[in-house]
Amino acid sequence: GTTGVPGGGRVSKTHLRIEVCGDLDELNASIGLAESLCSDQGIRADLVYIQELIFEVSAQVIYSGKPDRPARITEAMVTSIEEMIDRRAAALPPLRSFILPGGSRGSAAIHCARAVCRRAERTLVALNKEIPQAAQALSLVNRIADALFVLARAANAAEGLGDRPWLSGR
């Protein structure tokens, strides 16, 4: 099968741009689920903000083959995510080991969204080899994955749960 793309063309449903958009759609749905499971309103607001950015990334990707389309991803978007990471990390104890995903329902769901985000990042790496305009989206998705990790930790902290360290050699 094929699917329509902006500008009136059609591409295979297995085209890399469509694959990336599918991964981003799954990511956005995963974040929506995680947001619904979190009790902390600040974390919920951060997750909704990330969802909005994911839509910007999707638009950047779907239009990435059209040179007449301006870039949608800005340095300010990347900076806003980095500031979110710094703000959230400052309120958490420093990491001393790897941690196991899980804890509260919200944290577990955010960790699942983070794993989907890393997959989207990998498909964006492949797309960037074909379409260099994808580099802007790649940078933002990388930072979003890191933000999701910190938000998962924050979701546990909001529920009074600490990190669950991975104990090697058990």
The enclosing domain of 150 has a CATH number of: 1.20.1200.10
Separation between Cα atoms, residue 114 and residue 150, nearest integer Å: 10
pLDDT tens for each residue of 15-30: 888 999 999 999 999 9
Is 17 part of a structural domain of the chain? yes
Rounded CA gap, 4 and 145, in Å?
29
Torsion of CA 107, 113, 119, 121, to 10 degrees: -100
For residue 74, being part of any structural domain is answered with: yes
pLDDT at site 136: 83
Asked, for residue 154, whether it belongs to a domain, the answer is yes
| Inside any domain, residue 166 | no
Look at residue 67 in the predicted model and tell me its pLDDT: 62
Residue 169 has pLDDT above 80, yes or no: no
Q: Where are the alpha helices (DSSP H) in the chain?
A: 16-37, 41-62, 75-90, 105-130, 134-158
- 50: containing domain: 2-91+102-158
What is the reported pLDDT for 76?
95
Higher pLDDT, 152 or 71: 152
Who contacts 45 (Cβ-Cβ below 8 Å, separation ≥6)? Answer: none
Decide if 170 is inside a domain.
no
Specify if 96 maps to a domain. Answer: no
- Asked if residue 167 is part of any domain, the answer here is no
Q: Give the pLDDT confidence of 94-150 residue by residue, as tens digits.
A: 999 999 999 999 999 999 999 999 999 999 999 988 887 778 899 999 999 999 999
- How far from 40 is each of 71, 88, 91, 100, 109, CA to CA, in Å? 33, 13, 14, 21, 14
The answer on pLDDT for 153 being more than 90 is: yes
pLDDT, residue 65, reads: 62
Per the structure, how many domains does the chain have? 1
C-alpha count within 13 angstroms, C-beta hemisphere, residue 35:
17
Higher pLDDT, 96 or 54: 54
Asked whether residue 31 is domain-assigned, the answer is yes
Q: Residue 72: pLDDT above 90? A: no
Whether the CB-CB separation of 147 and 85 falls below 8 Å is answered with yes
- Residue-level pLDDT at 141: 98
**pLDDT reported for residue 130:** 85
